[in-house]
Amino acid sequence: MHKSIIALGVESSCDETSIGIIKSAFKDDVLITEKLGLVTDTQEKLHKDFGGVVPEIAARAHSEKIDTCFYRVLKESGIKIDDIDIICVTNGPGLIGGLISGINFAKGLAFTTGKPIIGVNHLVGHALTPHMTDDLRYPYLLLLASGGHCQYLAVLKANKIKRLGTTIDDAPGEVFDKVAKMLNLPTFSGSEVEKYAKKGNENRFSFPLPLINTNDCDLSFSGLKSSVRRQVDYLIEKQSGLYESDQMDVCASFQKSMRIIFEKKTKKAVDLFSKLSSGEKISFSLAGGVAANQNIRSSLKSLCNDLDIIFSAPPLELCTDNGLMIAYAGTQIYLSGRQDDMGLSPKPRWPIDLYNQKPLGFGKRGRKV
Ligand code: KG4
Ligand code: ZN
């Protein structure tokens, strides 16, 4: 049995280059994890004029920044290269150029130090985050809502995750980003939409709530996106432009629709999840960049209160992509006895639940998983 494990986690699957270091040790058979350092270099500014992540720009930025992130995280944590026991790296799903940068970096480090290398599924990293941050016990229900994914997951064990529902078209973060672009906000991101929404009237526009009455927890966002686009086009045509109050009201009304969709679908997901769990009090958590949205977060918290469900949400910096979640998931994989070798390769498409695949729609990053 290991006394303690220091794990390095490398994340570069989308537009954050992030490296984290954690230390995990068993105390009375329980794994206690401590954060030692985290450095995240976001590429938001590089992609801001394009309304989405440009894969070629992302890949180049990852390979330019990954070394400096590594040296900064060593300095921040006071850890030397030799102190690191395992090297964990996201090897999918994600943009292939970014994945290759991260994997090559991790392989180089593993080769020169002789330490084990462990490939981690990015979605598993998100899914296990509440287990690390809030010590949430298995099984728990998780909503993963990000720029590339939207899924309700039953996290039964570290290595047993069942998908209960998923988006059939766009991911919610992608729609937040598009709305920011339609409104020409200072940055094309969900956090900017949230800022504008705070000052807007959420009842001025009535946007659709796709799929909320179906008896499952699949989701759809493309109709909502088109409806916002039509409304914005109409305002621009009528007034020859948009006032700041229009931008704020559209943001607030759009965010309200998102919030209601998540409330309704979370209720359905809880029903499905309760059939899998054996009578114990249900726990619910959030992951992914959209989970950083305070409006959605607090409405799901009060829903859980009403349903007498344990609610937990990771700190904001761990909702978005980060190296700590990869270090943690990699530690779990290592403890289960699996490790990879120099043959580790990127898997741009890598569903979390291979046994539960439905032919769904296509998004900007290919088929939804
Ligand atoms: O999980 P994440 O960091 O990366 C992946 O997509 O895997 O999520 C990024 C997404 C972006 O689309 C971003 O606009 C969205 O999460 N996001 C937000 C907020 N902060 C980030 N969406 C709504 N409200 C926010 N506060
Ligand atoms: Zn992510």
Q: How many CB atoms lie within 10 A of CB 294?
A: 12
Cα(86)–Cα(205) distance, integer angstroms: 52
Cα(326)–Cα(322) distance, integer angstroms: 7
Question: What is the pLDDT, as a whole number, of residue 356?
Answer: 60
Question: What is the pLDDT, as a whole number, of residue 278?
Answer: 77
Q: Is the pLDDT of residue 196 over 90?
A: yes
Helix-strand-coil split of the chain, %, nearest 5: 45, 20, 35
Query: Which of the four pLDDT bands, split at 50, 70 and 90, describes residue 222?
Result: very high
Which of 133, 137, 142, 138 lies closest to 157, judged by CA? 138
Lowest model confidence (mean pLDDT) among 46-50, 207-211, 235-239: 46-50
Ligand 1: list residues with CB < 6 Å: 14, 146-148, 173-174, 176-177, 189-191, 194, 288-290, 292-293, 320-321
Lowest model confidence (mean pLDDT) among 154-158, 188-192, 226-230, 361-365: 361-365
Question: What is the pLDDT, as a whole number, of residue 364?
Answer: 46
- Residue with token string 């998540």: 262
Cα(35)–Cα(52) distance, integer angstroms: 31
Over range 9-14, report the average pLDDT: 96
Lowest model confidence (mean pLDDT) among 110-124, 255-269, 307-321: 307-321
Q: Is the pLDDT of residue 354 over 70?
A: no
Residue % of the chain over a pLDDT of 90: 80
Q: Is the pLDDT of residue 129 over 90?
A: yes
Amino acid, res. 264:
K
Question: What is the pLDDT, as a whole number, of residue 358?
Answer: 55
Nearest CA to ligand 1 atom 23: 190
Question: Measured in angstroms, how far is the CA atom of residue 205 from the centroid of ligand 2?
Answer: 30
Pocket test for ligand 1, best of 129, 176, 182 (most atoms within 8 A of CB): 176
Contact between 117 and 302 (Cβ < 8 Å): no
Q: Is the pLDDT of residue 1 over 60?
A: no
Question: What is the pLDDT, as a whole number, of residue 355?
Answer: 57
Higher pLDDT, 151 or 277: 151
Cα(241)–Cα(183) distance, integer angstroms: 10
How far is it between the farthest Cα atoms of the chain? 70
- Token pair, residue 201, equals 């009237």
Query: Which of the four pLDDT bands, split at 50, 70 and 90, describes residue 368?
Result: very low
Q: Is the pLDDT of residue 60 over 50?
A: yes
Which of 280, 285, 298 lies closest to 325, judged by CA? 285
Nearest CA to ligand 1 atom 14: 190
Q: Is the pLDDT of residue 5 over 70?
A: yes
Q: Which ligand is nearest to the CA of 192?
A: 1
Q: Which ligand is nearest to the CA of 58?
A: 1
- Residue with token string 């999840």: 273
Which of 87, 142, 91, 138 lies closest to 117, judged by CA? 87
Higher pLDDT, 353 or 136: 136
Q: Which residues pair with 25 in a beta bridge?
A: 4, 32
Over range 308-327, report the average pLDDT: 94
Pocket test for ligand 1, best of 189, 254, 261, 326 (most atoms within 8 A of CB): 189
Question: What is the pLDDT, as a whole number, of residue 31?
Answer: 85
Summary mean pLDDT of the chain:
92
Residues 68-120 pLDDT 10s: 999 999 999 999 999 999 999 999 999 999 999 999 999 999 999 999 999 99
Question: Measured in angstroms, how far is the CA atom of residue 318 from the centroid of ligand 2?
Answer: 10
